[in-house]
Amino acid sequence: MAAGLKNSRMRSKRILILGDPNSPLIWERGQVGHKAGYEIYWYSAPKADSKGLAGAFGPPLSRFSKISALWSPLSLRQTIHRVQPNLIHVHPAYQHVYTFVLSRFKPLILTVMGGDVLPDQFFNGHRKWFIKKLLDAADIITSKSSFLDRALNQIGHYAHKIRRVTWGIDTQEFRPGMNVDFLRRRWNIQTDEFVFFCPRICQPFYNKHITIQAFGQYLRESGGKAKLIVAEFFPDKTYCLQLRKLVSELNLSEQVCFVGEIAREEMSAYFNLSEIMIAAPPSDGMPQSLYEAMACGTFPILGNLPQYQEIVRDGVNGRLVRIGDVEALAEAMRWAAHHSQERKTAALINRQCIVEVANKETQDRFMNAIYDELCEKYSA
């Protein structure tokens, strides 16, 4: 397949992206090639909105899942033949039956998200075979952290093709000092109320019930005025109902704000509104929301995972707590709330850290340099 595309690569610069267009992060990452003059094509189910793309493709819909599964690889193969891309970039590592087609294409870039290569999340059962086959086939694997590098190298010998790309954030969009009065009015949050923010996906894995329980304990023991903002990204409806029931049982209905799925353009405002962000799942990659919080000066309280320790030191620029421990989390919340000077110092440290390791402008240049490198290699 690679040899047959050589002439077309000489004529144009085209990238075919495979990824979920409904994920704001994947959608944003898929556009990076525009900055280097690449035409961006997208393959997904459902099809991406073609706005801003050179083309959007996807498998035909079918009521019969078995028929759809058989047809999907052929549909992808036809799309590759039609687009004649210079390279394919896949987000994340698990692509199920598409793996049979993708593993034969060169050059292939694979971006791992975190959970896709961690045994306690997604790298288990039948998925292991598909993920490893695609990792083996990839020319380049992008990884956000040393922790993910180690996870990858436990799967196979990939050190020679791992590249550090944090993807980064827009440090002008995510910055301290924003006016957030509109959010205070929307959620009836007073200026003298201390605000905690729980921004992650609203599913049991992310332990939002632990955060709510710890917040209740914090209020009982501190006696201060505070609000907890709970985001509901990709919600598990049953779990969301359980969280609301828990809030009612703890008599926290006036103190906990369930804010639904926050619009991408408002995330920086929510971090500016909040003094502290909380995230304590039992496993993780390197979440974009942590970069965003740090860039905005929001103090992070996190589960004590080795990947977080790469950029957060307990008691210096954040707090790291035992995962699933309500008392430990409540204690960290009390400590952070009562150490304003430490939070100010942490905000300076964290902002500088993000400027250095997760600046989107710099990371976009890294990614486009990789694109150019592979295009030159395979057009030679």
The Cα–Cα gap between 200 and 114 comes to 14
How is 136-205 classified by DSSP, letter by letter? HH-SEEEESSHHHHHHHHHHS--GGGEEE----B-TTTS-S----HHHHHHHT--TTSEEEEE-SBSSGG
| Phi, psi at 206, each rounded to 5° | -90, 5
- pLDDT score, position 3: 41
Domain ranges of the chain: 3-168+359-379, 181-357
Question: Is residue 152 scored above 50 in pLDDT?
Answer: yes
For the segment 110-120, the average pLDDT, to the nearest whole number, is: 94
For the segment 371-379, the average pLDDT, to the nearest whole number, is: 94
H helix runs in the chain, sequence order: 6-11, 24-30, 65-83, 99-102, 127-137, 146-155, 181-187, 208-222, 237-249, 267-273, 288-296, 326-337, 340-357, 360-379
Most confident of the following: 49-53, 59-63, 129-133: 129-133
- Helix (H/G/I), strand (E/B), else coil: 309: helix
**CATH class of the domain comprising 181-357:** alpha beta
| Phi, psi at 123, each rounded to 5° | -85, 75
For the segment 178-199, the average pLDDT, to the nearest whole number, is: 97
- pLDDT score, position 190: 96
Instruction: Tell me the pLDDT tens digit for each residue of 299-351.
Output: 999 999 999 999 999 999 999 999 999 999 999 999 999 999 999 999 999 99
- pLDDT score, position 45: 87
- pLDDT score, position 12: 76
- pLDDT score, position 67: 55
Give me the sign of the Cα torsion angle 240, 241, 246, 247.
positive
- pLDDT score, position 62: 55
Instruction: Tell me the pLDDT tens digit for each residue of 262-303.
Output: 999 999 999 999 999 999 999 998 999 999 999 999 999 999
- Label residue 10 by pLDDT band (50, 70, 90): very low
- pLDDT score, position 9: 44
Q: Among residues 111, 121, 110, which one has the least CA distance to residue 284?
A: 121
Average pLDDT, the chain: 93
- pLDDT score, position 311: 96
Q: For the domain covering 3-168+359-379, report its CATH number.
A: 3.40.50.2000
For the segment 168-185, the average pLDDT, to the nearest whole number, is: 97
CB atoms within 10 A of CB 262: 16
Instruction: Tell me the pLDDT tens digit for each residue of 196-254.
Output: 999 999 999 999 999 999 999 999 998 889 999 999 999 999 999 999 999 999 999 99
- pLDDT score, position 379: 86
